[in-house]
Amino acid sequence: MSRDVFDKINQYKEEQKNRGRLLIKCPDQPGIVAAVSKFLFDHNANIIESSQYSTNPEGGHFFFRIEFECPGLKAKKEELTSQFELIAESFNMDWKLSIVSEIKKIAIFVSKELHCLRELLWEWQSGDLMTEIALVVSNHEDSREITEGLGIPFYYIPASKENRAEVEQKQLQLLAEYGVDAIILARYMQILTPSFVAANPFRIINIHHSFLPAFVGARPYDRAYQRGVKLIGATSHYVTNDLDEGPIIEQDIMRVDHRDQIEDLKKIGRSIERSVLARAVRWHLEDRIIVDGNKTIVF
């Protein structure tokens, strides 16, 4: 990690040392916001940001994200977690408490196309993607220079259908060794096995070069060209065992026309892919996403 990035991360940790986030999903009923707000007030916490959404006030689900400042938060984490469990049980909550200064670690998986990797590295260097890039894993050598030039460990692991189980075992060992919190597939052109996905539920973020659900799978730009589309897009989603059908985090589009050839579509598409993936990763790192079935609530 470069000294400049190291300093930015340490400054951020110091600035955010007393800031926490609560993500909550539960059946909708009266009193949820009041109970959570009172709990925070009783622990001398000040609410900085609050967002909520209900699918249906009568019999629906309630989603809640709250960011707060609390003096001595890290020392109080166990106490807060233990005491909040009583509220969570009374409202049947699925919940998570995060300490903002506990920076999440990510691993980036990439193949030959480096535009998404470069975008993530740029966002990280500029301080707009507050994370620790623990390692980069690739089945090609193309990204070694740019990765190691920034002081990030690089692992070249050739992958194919024939050695997939062996490759994923090595990858899982590396993820555990580095204490990785999330895996970013930045145009990693390999299909993950069900066992790998199961080991990382809603911790794998992919970028697909199509506006899903259109053109699932391989060569979407070629198929879009053959279909004569007027819009192309990109989709970032959590990875599940169903190819390109996991919960969608972010999407975007650009207009094209009959003059654009396949290479033009790919060039336009790369620009969309970069920004869509970067936004999805940032929202995940900022605890802005709640998964609900095969959908996401993004605050």
- Which residues form the catalytic set? 244
- B/e letters for 230-253, b = 16+ CB within 10 Å, e = fewer, are eebbbbbbbbbeeebebbbbbbbb
Residue 291 Cα distances to 30, 50, 277, 295, angstroms = 22, 18, 17, 6
Tokens 């994923």, located at residue: 168
Cα 196 from Cα 184, distance rounded (Å) = 14
Cα 208 from Cα 189, distance rounded (Å) = 10
How many secondary structure helices (H) and strands (E) does the chain include? 9, 13
Residue 266 in tokens: 């790919």
What single-letter DSSP state applies at residue 18? T
Cα 191 from Cα 108, distance rounded (Å) = 15
Under 8 Å between Cβ of 22 and 64: yes
- Sequence-distant (6+) residues with CB within 8 A of 155 are 135, 136, 137, 138, 174
- Cross-strand bridge partners of residue 25: 63, 94
Q: Strand 46-54 to strand 61-69: parallel, antiparallel, or no bridges (unpaired)?
A: antiparallel
Residue 134 in tokens: 């623990």
